[in-house]
Amino acid sequence: MRNYVLILVLLAASFLGGLFLGRSWGSAEPDATEVRDTLTFHDTAFVDRPVPVYVSQIRTDTVRLALVDTSHTTVVRDSAEVEVPISRKVYEDSTYRCVISGYNANLDSLWVYHTIREINVVRTLKMPPKRWGFDVTLGPSVLVTPKGDVKGGMGITGGLSYRF
């Protein structure tokens, strides 16, 4: 009777040890790998012939211009005073702001609002299973002889495996 209790205790210890070791010694490599890609797009806005939103006159400059005789294309030594208005024009949209002023147009300032879109793509790649492996087994063994004697012991085995 004492031998049967010992056998049951060894079987229970073997079962609990295998359960504990099987859960904690999982595969070090995951079955699937997560790959992240980031795609970035730059939007460019093209505005054909923009219309000014705001026009204001800053000042008026007086300029001396030479008189030209158009019939003979000669320059007369006299000049005339001409008033030239200096104005400021603002071109504006949701993507840009441009301010131009002067008689000979000078760019005062330019603001460009470009939009950047980022798209994160997450793909899961499944790793192929490993085909070759080496297994080690440790556990109790029980032997019943033809005479009825029960023998117990501990054993360790190892093996090479190939998965098809």
Q: What confidence tens digit (pLDDT) does each residue in 139-149 have? A: 888 888 888 88
Is residue 99 exposed (0-12), middle (13-18) or buried (19+ Cβ within 10 Å)?
middle
Q: For residue 156, which of 8, 4, 12, 14 has the smallest C-alpha distance?
A: 14
Q: Are residues 26 and 53 in the same domain?
A: no
Q: Are residues 83 and 21 in the same domain?
A: no
What pLDDT is recorded for position 127?
Answer: 67
Q: For residue 76, which of 84, 85, 67 has the smallest C-alpha distance?
A: 67
Q: Are residues 63 and 96 in the same domain?
A: yes
Residue 16 lies in a domain: yes
17: CB partners within 8 A, 6+ apart: 139
Q: Are residues 78 and 21 in the same domain?
A: no
Residue 74 lies in a domain: yes
Which of the pair, 135 or 75, is modelled with greater confidence? 135
Q: Are residues 55 and 104 in the same domain?
A: yes
Q: For residue 58, which of 1, 103, 111, 11 has the smallest C-alpha distance?
A: 103
Q: Are residues 26 and 61 in the same domain?
A: no
Residue 132 lies in a domain: yes
Task: Report residue 107's pLDDT band, with 50, 70 and 90 as the boundaries.
Answer: low
Residue 38 lies in a domain: no
**Which residue in the block uniquely carries the two structure tokens 């859960």?**
23
Q: Are residues 102 and 155 in the same domain?
A: no
Backbone angles phi, psi at 50, to 5 degrees: -70, 150
Q: How far apart are the first and last CA of the chain?
A: 46
Which of the pair, 69 or 53, is modelled with greater confidence? 53
Q: Are residues 63 and 110 in the same domain?
A: yes
Q: Are residues 97 and 77 in the same domain?
A: yes
Q: Are residues 74 and 18 in the same domain?
A: no
Tell me, what DSSP letter sits at residue 127? P
Q: Are residues 78 and 105 in the same domain?
A: yes
Residue 120 lies in a domain: no
Q: Are residues 132 and 156 in the same domain?
A: yes
Cross-strand partners of 122: 36
What is the count of structural domains for the chain?
Answer: 2
Q: What confidence tens digit (pLDDT) does each residue in 115-130 have?
A: 676 777 777 777 666 6
| Cα distance between residue 143 and residue 126, in whole Å | 44
Residue 39 lies in a domain: no
Residue 136 belongs to what domain range? 2-32+127-162
Backbone angles phi, psi at 7, to 5 degrees: -65, -45
